[in-house]
Amino acid sequence: MEMMEYARFALALIFVLGLIAGCSWLGKRLGLAPRTTTGGSAKRLNVVAIQSVDSRRKLVLIRRDNIEHLILLNGERDLLIESGIESREEIETPAQPAGNGLPGLARILQFGGKLPNV
């Protein structure tokens, strides 16, 4: 009887591991898996957005050195649709004034009415 319990345990373990592998494969297939990036603060390459066109094609917007590129990914052939798009961060971010960027009154209010020791 003891051997049957070990065999049952082994089959249950194999079944659970198979369920985990199947769920991870399905999640990756449906695009639910998290994107992995390399560590470091100076990232030059970033995936901005991914949009499915149909079951076989995806539009991917990537940013490299603050320039965006729109790519159509297909199983057989990839196509660069548009290149050299200015990053929205550069377009929407106004130029920062010199110093810390806060006018005098806003700077005082930020520190609760007291100027910080500089």
**Domain contains 114:** no
Give residue 78's pLDDT: 86
Residues 20 and 54 in one domain: no
Indicate the number of domains in the chain: 2
DSSP 113: T
pLDDT tens sequence across 25-81? 898 888 777 666 555 556 788 888 898 888 888 889 998 888 899 898 987 888 888
Domain that includes residue 58, residue range: 44-94
What average pLDDT score do residues 74-99 get? 69
Q: What is the pLDDT of residue 106?
A: 53
Quote the CA–CA distance of 19 and 6 in Å, as a whole number. Answer: 20
Q: What pLDDT score does 16 carry?
A: 97
26/108: higher pLDDT: 26
DSSP string computed for 5-30: HHHHHHHHHHHHHHHHHHHHHHHHHT
Q: How much is the pLDDT for 14? A: 97
